[in-house]
Amino acid sequence: KLYFCGSSIGTAWKSWKPTSTVFATPGNYFTVAYLAADAEFKWGTFPEQWLGYADFKSLDDQAEAGLAAGSGGNIKVEKAGWYILFVKGKINGEVIDYAFTIYPAQFYVIGGVTGEWNDADANWALTAPADASGEWVSPAFAAGGELRAYVKVPGFDWWKTEFTLYEGKLLWRDEEHNCSGSWSGDVGAEYSVTGAAGQKLYLTIGTETESAEDIGEVK
Protein backbone atom coordinates (compact mmCIF):
# COMPACT_ATOMS: atom_id res chain seq x y z
CA LYS A 1 0.00 0.00 0.00
CA LEU A 2 0.86 3.64 -0.35
CA TYR A 3 -0.23 6.30 2.13
CA PHE A 4 -1.32 9.95 2.10
CA CYS A 5 -1.09 12.51 4.91
CA GLY A 6 -2.03 16.16 4.83
CA SER A 7 -3.79 19.23 6.11
CA SER A 8 -7.31 17.86 5.52
CA ILE A 9 -6.91 14.07 5.60
CA GLY A 10 -8.27 12.67 8.87
CA THR A 11 -6.38 14.41 11.68
CA ALA A 12 -4.25 17.07 10.01
CA TRP A 13 -0.66 15.92 9.45
CA LYS A 14 -1.10 12.91 11.75
CA SER A 15 -3.31 10.49 9.79
CA TRP A 16 -1.59 8.33 7.18
CA LYS A 17 -4.52 7.11 5.13
CA PRO A 18 -3.73 3.87 3.30
CA THR A 19 -4.58 3.36 -0.34
CA SER A 20 -6.30 0.31 -1.77
CA THR A 21 -5.13 -1.59 -4.83
CA VAL A 22 -7.23 -1.84 -7.97
CA PHE A 23 -8.38 -5.48 -7.91
CA ALA A 24 -6.19 -7.87 -9.92
CA THR A 25 -4.20 -4.93 -11.29
CA PRO A 26 -0.92 -4.69 -9.33
CA GLY A 27 0.80 -1.34 -9.17
CA ASN A 28 -2.39 0.73 -9.24
CA TYR A 29 -3.32 2.41 -5.95
CA PHE A 30 -6.23 4.66 -4.98
CA THR A 31 -7.97 6.32 -2.09
CA VAL A 32 -10.73 8.90 -1.72
CA ALA A 33 -10.32 12.09 0.29
CA TYR A 34 -11.93 15.46 0.79
CA LEU A 35 -9.36 18.20 0.24
CA ALA A 36 -10.16 21.73 1.37
CA ALA A 37 -9.20 24.78 -0.67
CA ASP A 38 -5.41 25.20 -0.69
CA ALA A 39 -4.97 21.85 1.09
CA GLU A 40 -1.48 20.38 1.04
CA PHE A 41 -0.39 16.79 1.48
CA LYS A 42 2.47 14.33 1.23
CA TRP A 43 2.68 10.61 0.49
CA GLY A 44 4.85 7.62 1.24
CA THR A 45 5.38 3.91 0.70
CA PHE A 46 5.09 3.68 4.49
CA PRO A 47 3.75 6.10 7.13
CA GLU A 48 5.97 9.11 7.90
CA GLN A 49 8.12 8.76 4.81
CA TRP A 50 7.07 12.31 3.83
CA LEU A 51 7.52 12.16 0.07
CA GLY A 52 6.24 15.12 -1.90
CA TYR A 53 5.55 16.72 -5.27
CA ALA A 54 9.00 16.17 -6.73
CA ASP A 55 9.00 12.48 -5.80
CA PHE A 56 6.33 11.65 -8.37
CA LYS A 57 7.60 10.91 -11.86
CA SER A 58 4.60 12.78 -13.24
CA LEU A 59 1.45 14.52 -11.98
CA ASP A 60 -1.85 14.80 -13.86
CA ASP A 61 -4.79 16.96 -12.77
CA GLN A 62 -7.89 15.30 -14.26
CA ALA A 63 -10.15 16.98 -11.71
CA GLU A 64 -9.23 20.58 -12.47
CA ALA A 65 -8.31 20.83 -8.80
CA GLY A 66 -5.50 23.31 -9.32
CA LEU A 67 -2.76 20.78 -8.64
CA ALA A 68 0.57 22.44 -7.88
CA ALA A 69 3.73 22.29 -5.81
CA GLY A 70 3.09 23.59 -2.30
CA SER A 71 5.28 24.74 0.54
CA GLY A 72 8.05 22.50 1.85
CA GLY A 73 7.81 20.18 -1.14
CA ASN A 74 4.14 19.41 -0.50
CA ILE A 75 1.49 18.67 -3.12
CA LYS A 76 -1.24 21.31 -3.20
CA VAL A 77 -4.76 21.67 -4.59
CA GLU A 78 -6.31 25.10 -4.98
CA LYS A 79 -9.96 24.00 -5.18
CA ALA A 80 -11.91 22.22 -2.46
CA GLY A 81 -13.58 18.96 -3.38
CA TRP A 82 -13.88 15.21 -3.16
CA TYR A 83 -11.05 13.54 -5.04
CA ILE A 84 -9.63 10.17 -5.97
CA LEU A 85 -5.89 10.15 -5.32
CA PHE A 86 -4.56 7.62 -7.82
CA VAL A 87 -0.98 6.37 -8.15
CA LYS A 88 0.49 4.05 -10.75
CA GLY A 89 3.82 2.43 -9.92
CA LYS A 90 6.06 1.09 -12.67
CA ILE A 91 9.33 -0.77 -12.19
CA ASN A 92 12.20 1.04 -13.90
CA GLY A 93 15.39 -0.93 -13.38
CA GLU A 94 16.16 -0.93 -9.67
CA VAL A 95 13.64 1.79 -8.80
CA ILE A 96 9.89 2.27 -9.05
CA ASP A 97 8.54 5.32 -10.86
CA TYR A 98 5.28 6.59 -9.38
CA ALA A 99 2.83 8.63 -11.48
CA PHE A 100 0.09 10.58 -9.68
CA THR A 101 -3.34 11.45 -11.05
CA ILE A 102 -6.13 13.27 -9.24
CA TYR A 103 -9.71 12.54 -10.35
CA PRO A 104 -13.09 13.76 -9.13
CA ALA A 105 -14.61 11.19 -6.76
CA GLN A 106 -17.94 9.47 -7.30
CA PHE A 107 -19.50 6.49 -5.52
CA TYR A 108 -22.25 4.25 -6.92
CA VAL A 109 -24.46 1.32 -5.99
CA ILE A 110 -25.27 -1.41 -8.50
CA GLY A 111 -26.81 -4.88 -8.76
CA GLY A 112 -29.65 -6.36 -6.78
CA VAL A 113 -30.61 -3.24 -4.81
CA THR A 114 -30.83 -1.23 -8.05
CA GLY A 115 -32.21 -3.85 -10.43
CA GLU A 116 -29.48 -3.22 -13.02
CA TRP A 117 -25.76 -3.62 -13.66
CA ASN A 118 -24.91 -0.50 -15.66
CA ASP A 119 -21.45 0.86 -14.85
CA ALA A 120 -21.38 4.47 -13.58
CA ASP A 121 -25.14 4.96 -13.95
CA ALA A 122 -25.86 8.52 -12.83
CA ASN A 123 -29.23 7.37 -11.49
CA TRP A 124 -27.40 5.33 -8.84
CA ALA A 125 -24.70 7.80 -7.86
CA LEU A 126 -24.31 8.74 -4.20
CA THR A 127 -24.75 12.40 -3.32
CA ALA A 128 -21.54 13.90 -1.96
CA PRO A 129 -21.52 15.87 1.30
CA ALA A 130 -20.21 19.42 1.44
CA ASP A 131 -17.06 18.30 3.24
CA ALA A 132 -15.52 15.42 5.19
CA SER A 133 -17.82 15.95 8.18
CA GLY A 134 -20.87 14.79 6.22
CA GLU A 135 -22.13 11.56 4.67
CA TRP A 136 -22.32 10.31 1.10
CA VAL A 137 -25.91 9.12 0.56
CA SER A 138 -27.25 6.78 -2.12
CA PRO A 139 -30.66 6.95 -3.77
CA ALA A 140 -33.28 4.77 -2.11
CA PHE A 141 -32.85 1.14 -3.14
CA ALA A 142 -35.30 -0.11 -5.75
CA ALA A 143 -35.41 -3.64 -4.36
CA GLY A 144 -34.03 -5.96 -1.74
CA GLY A 145 -30.73 -7.74 -2.36
CA GLU A 146 -27.04 -7.88 -1.61
CA LEU A 147 -25.29 -4.52 -1.61
CA ARG A 148 -22.75 -4.01 -4.37
CA ALA A 149 -21.02 -0.64 -4.33
CA TYR A 150 -17.88 1.02 -5.68
CA VAL A 151 -15.97 4.20 -6.36
CA LYS A 152 -15.48 4.82 -10.06
CA VAL A 153 -11.81 5.09 -11.00
CA PRO A 154 -11.53 6.09 -14.67
CA GLY A 155 -10.14 3.36 -16.90
CA PHE A 156 -11.29 0.44 -14.71
CA ASP A 157 -14.49 -1.61 -14.58
CA TRP A 158 -16.65 -1.03 -11.50
CA TRP A 159 -15.87 -4.40 -9.91
CA LYS A 160 -12.16 -3.57 -9.85
CA THR A 161 -12.81 -0.89 -7.22
CA GLU A 162 -15.81 -2.27 -5.34
CA PHE A 163 -16.24 -2.64 -1.62
CA THR A 164 -18.50 -4.12 1.01
CA LEU A 165 -19.09 -3.18 4.63
CA TYR A 166 -17.39 -5.38 7.20
CA GLU A 167 -17.89 -4.53 10.86
CA GLY A 168 -19.03 -1.10 9.74
CA LYS A 169 -15.92 -0.31 7.72
CA LEU A 170 -15.37 -0.28 3.97
CA LEU A 171 -13.56 -3.42 2.86
CA TRP A 172 -12.24 -3.26 -0.68
CA ARG A 173 -12.26 -6.26 -2.99
CA ASP A 174 -8.84 -7.92 -3.14
CA GLU A 175 -7.29 -11.33 -3.71
CA GLU A 176 -8.21 -12.46 -0.19
CA HIS A 177 -11.76 -11.10 -0.49
CA ASN A 178 -12.60 -11.92 -4.09
CA CYS A 179 -16.28 -11.45 -4.79
CA SER A 180 -16.65 -12.95 -8.26
CA GLY A 181 -20.35 -13.70 -7.89
CA SER A 182 -21.56 -12.54 -4.49
CA TRP A 183 -20.00 -11.51 -1.20
CA SER A 184 -22.05 -14.09 0.68
CA GLY A 185 -21.26 -16.97 -1.67
CA ASP A 186 -17.62 -16.24 -2.45
CA VAL A 187 -16.26 -14.56 0.67
CA GLY A 188 -18.64 -15.31 3.54
CA ALA A 189 -21.97 -14.30 5.02
CA GLU A 190 -20.27 -11.92 7.47
CA TYR A 191 -18.97 -9.89 4.51
CA SER A 192 -22.38 -9.56 2.90
CA VAL A 193 -24.73 -6.62 3.48
CA THR A 194 -28.37 -6.95 2.47
CA GLY A 195 -30.50 -3.94 1.69
CA ALA A 196 -34.27 -3.63 1.44
CA ALA A 197 -36.30 -1.52 -0.94
CA GLY A 198 -36.38 2.07 0.29
CA GLN A 199 -33.18 1.83 2.33
CA LYS A 200 -30.05 3.79 1.46
CA LEU A 201 -26.27 3.46 1.75
CA TYR A 202 -24.52 6.04 3.93
CA LEU A 203 -20.75 6.52 3.83
CA THR A 204 -18.37 8.61 5.92
CA ILE A 205 -15.11 8.79 4.01
CA GLY A 206 -11.94 9.65 5.89
CA THR A 207 -13.27 10.10 9.40
CA GLU A 208 -11.74 13.07 11.16
CA THR A 209 -9.67 10.82 13.42
CA GLU A 210 -6.06 9.69 13.30
CA SER A 211 -7.11 6.42 11.63
CA ALA A 212 -9.03 8.30 8.88
CA GLU A 213 -11.23 5.20 8.48
CA ASP A 214 -13.92 4.89 5.82
CA ILE A 215 -17.15 3.68 7.40
CA GLY A 216 -20.68 3.01 6.24
CA GLU A 217 -24.10 1.57 6.97
CA VAL A 218 -27.32 0.63 5.22
CA LYS A 219 -30.50 1.87 6.82
In terms of pTM, does the model score above 0.95?
A: yes
- Per-residue pLDDT band for 72 (boundaries 50, 70, 90) equals very high
Give the CB-side neighbour count of residue 169, counting CA atoms within 13 A.
9
Report how far residue 125's alpha carbon sits from residue 151's, in angstroms, rounded to the nearest whole number: 10
- Per-residue pLDDT band for 133 (boundaries 50, 70, 90) equals very high
Report how far residue 31's alpha carbon sits from residue 107's, in angstroms, rounded to the nearest whole number: 12
Distances (CA, A) of 81 to 33, 35, 85, 128: 8, 6, 12, 10
Distances (CA, A) of 163 to 81, 143, 166: 22, 19, 9
Average pLDDT of the chain is 97
Q: What are 79-92's pLDDT values in tens digits?
A: 999 999 999 999 99
Q: What pLDDT is recorded for position 48? A: 97
Q: What are 50-60's pLDDT values in tens digits?
A: 999 999 999 99
Q: What pLDDT is recorded for position 160? A: 98
Q: What are 87-130's pLDDT values in tens digits?
A: 999 999 999 999 999 999 999 999 999 999 999 999 999 999 99
